Structure 1
Amino acid sequence: MKMASALVLQFLLLGFASAAGVLQNPDFETPPPGSPANSTAPFLLGENNTLPGWSFGGQVYYLTESGGGHAVQLGQDGRINQTFAASATDSADYLLTFAVASPGGANCLSNGSVVISAPDSQGVFPAGQRAVYGQFLGSWGDGEAIDLVIASETTESDANATCWPIVDSILLKSIASLVKANDNELVNGGFEFGPDFLADSAGGVLLQAAQSPVQSPLRQWSILGTVKYIDAKHFFVPQGNAAVEIVSGNSSGIQTAAQLTKDSSYTLEFMLGDGNDSCIGDFEVRAQAGSVLQNYTIQSKGTGSAQKFSFKFKADSDTGTTPISFVSYTSSQTKDGVFCGPVVDDVVVRTSLGLKLAIQWSLPSLLLLVAYVMNNERWI
């Protein structure tokens, strides 16, 4: 169950992304002084204890798992927090990845939650069966001191509740300077910029609904419903290191916007497939670019495959902002009961300007060009 942290420095073509190694003891592997060795019984922290790297309040338990890993359980009014320093230079976006579980598993879905908060954001995440989530924390720079707070929330008043959430494997990542690639009108069309992946997690990272692309952990994309952020290490990813799997159905998906020239023609290209996670069935996806909508159905055998699609559209918005979206209406599950669905990747919007210029070379124009060249060759 224990996840090892993966704090890796990456320089990517479209900008700079790094795992921000500014959190102390993010995986709780450094135990509180005085905690019993080789014991799997929860150890209640009190006023005479410290949790290295973290402050705490309320009921907080330190857990040693049977495999040797460690975590914290947030009981009644339980809270842990840590202050870290933002980038000393330009502002950067900070994304959090963390694992949440409950001793009661699925029986505790409605009893306990984890609240993650920072100066610019707050998210509530259910504590049932073990899951990994991603969250946008905020954008900061100039060395600003940021207080990260992780707290329990429950609908029950019983101090002895058995469904208090367990938190583990916290990764903090910063992303700055996102720009468009030369051949794509979209930013982050390949989904390479999102929350970090846990090194040993085969379940991907769940991303909850985010109406604004500014507040979304999948940078530059709004999230409708729930999607899963997947990596090439544990899933089939059509292109690059990351992709999006639409897992919740019921009009869930992703959406962004491109600044395009009105009345100009463009082509939307993208790939649809399955993540090699035994998700079998017919997946229906609606792709939209501006006012043009196209429905696509792919047959998945769950073994990892993808198809490339494209269609042309014209930018018709008076504001210059053209919406681009992918929505799934299919809800599927693997044989193990895990929600799954179609994978979207490598989304590209290309201008058709080059084609227009080529068409403008009419036959008379070409004849004049040939005559000019032949006439000037006599003087060489």
Structure 2
Amino acid sequence: MVIDKRSVRRAALVLLLVCVAAARAVSAVGDGPLLNGNFEDPPNQSQMSGSVVTGEHAIPYWKTSGHIELICSGQKQGDMVLTVPDRTRALWLGNGASIEQQISLTPGLYYSLTFSASRTCSQDEMLNVTAAPVSGSGGSLAQTGELPVQTVYTSSGWDSYSWAFKAEAGLVSIIITHNCGEQEDPACGPIVDAFAIKTLSQPEATGDNMLRNGDFEEGPYIPPESPWGVMVPPMDEDHVSPLPGWKIMSYKKSVKYVDSAHFAVPRGACAVELVSGVETALLQEVYTTVEGSWYRLEFSAGDAANGCASPSYDDGSSSPGMKVKAYAGPSETTVDIDFRGAGGSKRGKIEFRATASPTRVVLLSLGYHTKSDNSGTLCGPVVDDVSLVPIPQPYARRLLL
């Protein structure tokens, strides 16, 4: 049999192109940025009209729909000069627009998506995030969440957000959609950038701590170069939390997940900054407490060393510092923090008798704060190292006296 070498080379080239096309369609990534997650890979110019994306596959590794613009850092939009948090490019999502990337995951594991967003024109902007099993990949349950982005927490106008889900299949489409109803300008919408993903472990309670993830060491991906942390938005009861074990109870406000590389953290590598005052609370329900038994809750409340100032009032006065309030079952305590923005922490403690099960543990800030540099950046006290343990019976009897 005579082998046509040109046919073999042609077949090999076709196979190579198919493999390359498949690789460009599906991301198989570990913890860290998604493929072209910062949109720096140049688009196909034949599918662009100026800055407007006209082809659904113009942005490598992404599928787009609706009015989408490729934004470059320093570009002017009316009187506004646009900035980009990661390198030089980002995407502007018009009303009803969406972007999608298929990623290869491990079914049954939990994941957290992190990305940056900047509000542009609407006062009530919302992003829908969906993780949907790709048809034929062995799953059918799509998970969707809403991320409110109308509150700007940093002076740069950019905030990083997180959202978590459980992988229901080995191949999942991550879809981000902007839909705020009727808008006069179809191009009005948020700018998004810097997409990354992280596998979330699910820490369990131990003999030393009845709380799950009480030290906040497990949480969403924080970009190494990001100086502002990652927002963890409010979530419904059934949603997966980017902070395993904890729920964020609020209407539209968030808490901030911070690292020791950029903030003063009481213990370990990560903590939570309460940046939304009384509008947001950290909550965990403990189902292993026994009605009538005694328990001790302890936690650290601190200053993030980020120049967070005490709130000022109309008469020119200010409060003595920040306050963290904690509830455990029927009891509560307040910890005052006044480290003048230089870091430091104090321990809070509650000893209580459980009156019901589950026992609710709640942490919140009692004030609204901004950084002392007049930038308008929202800030607040950090909480960390939260533990709940049973009180031995001999000691518990003394508490009854």
Q: TM class by shorter-chain length?
A: 0.7 to 0.9
The number of residues matched between the two structures is 327
Distance across 2 between alignment mates of 1:306 and 1:195: 23
Q: How far apart are 1:264 and its partner, in Å?
A: 2.2
The structure-2 alpha-carbon separation of the partners of 1:130 and 1:357, relative to structure 1 and needing over 3 Å to count, comes to closer
User: Residue 152 of structure 1 corresponds to which residue in structure 2?
Assistant: 178
Q: How far apart are 1:263 and its partner, in Å?
A: 2.3
Q: Structure 2 matches for 1:125-274, cutoff 5 A?
A: 125-126=148-149, 129-136=157-164, 138-141=165-168, 143-154=169-180, 157-159=183-185, 161=187, 163-212=188-237, 214-225=239-250, 226-258=254-286, 259-274=288-303
User: Residue 128 of structure 2 corresponds to which residue in structure 1?
Assistant: 115
Structure 1: runs of 5 or more not aligned: 1-17, 360-380
The partner residue of 2:98 within 68, 73, 79 is: 79
| 1:134 and 1:195 in contact (8 A); partners too | yes
Distance across 2 between alignment mates of 1:101 and 1:221: 26
| 1:42 and 1:64 in contact (8 A); partners too | no
The partner residue of 2:389 within 336, 340, 350 is: 350
The partner residue of 2:361 within 301, 324, 331 is: 324
* 1:69 matched to 2:88: yes
Distance across 2 between alignment mates of 1:200 and 1:35: 33
Letter in 2 for 1:347: V
Distance across 2 between alignment mates of 1:35 and 1:120: 34
The partner residue of 1:25 within 7, 29, 36 is: 36
Letter in 2 for 1:296: V
Distance across 2 between alignment mates of 1:323 and 1:112: 32
Distance across 2 between alignment mates of 1:340 and 1:238: 16
| 1:247 and 1:340 in contact (8 A); partners too | yes
Q: How far apart are 1:113 and its partner, in Å?
A: 3.8
What SS does structure 2 have at the residue aligned with 1:250? helix
The structure-2 alpha-carbon separation of the partners of 1:218 and 1:273, relative to structure 1 and needing over 3 Å to count, comes to same
CA RMSD of aligned residues (A): 2.9
Letter in 2 for 1:73: W
| 1:213 and 1:219 in contact (8 A); partners too | no
Distance across 2 between alignment mates of 1:309 and 1:289: 12
| 1:236 and 1:274 in contact (8 A); partners too | yes
Distance across 2 between alignment mates of 1:48 and 1:326: 45
User: Residue 295 of structure 1 corresponds to which residue in structure 2?
Assistant: 334
Distance across 2 between alignment mates of 1:255 and 1:177: 16
Instruction: Please state which structure has a larger fraction of its residues in strand.
Output: 1
Q: Structure 2 matches for 1:353-372, cutoff 5 A?
A: 353=392
Q: Deviations over 1:310-343 (max 9, x none)?
A: 23112221xx311111122211111321111111
Letter in 1 for 2:177: A
TM-score computed with the length of structure 1 as normaliser: 0.77
Letter in 1 for 2:369: S
Identical residues among aligned pairs (%): 28
Q: How far apart are 1:23 and its partner, in Å?
A: 3.8
Distance across 2 between alignment mates of 1:149 and 1:348: 37
What SS does structure 1 have at the residue aligned with 2:338? strand
Distance across 2 between alignment mates of 1:300 and 1:70: 39
Structure 2: runs of 5 or more not aligned: 1-28, 75-83, 132-141, 311-320
The structure-2 alpha-carbon separation of the partners of 1:296 and 1:357, relative to structure 1 and needing over 3 Å to count, comes to closer
| 1:132 and 1:206 in contact (8 A); partners too | yes
| 1:216 and 1:222 in contact (8 A); partners too | yes
Q: How far apart are 1:133 and its partner, in Å?
A: 1.0
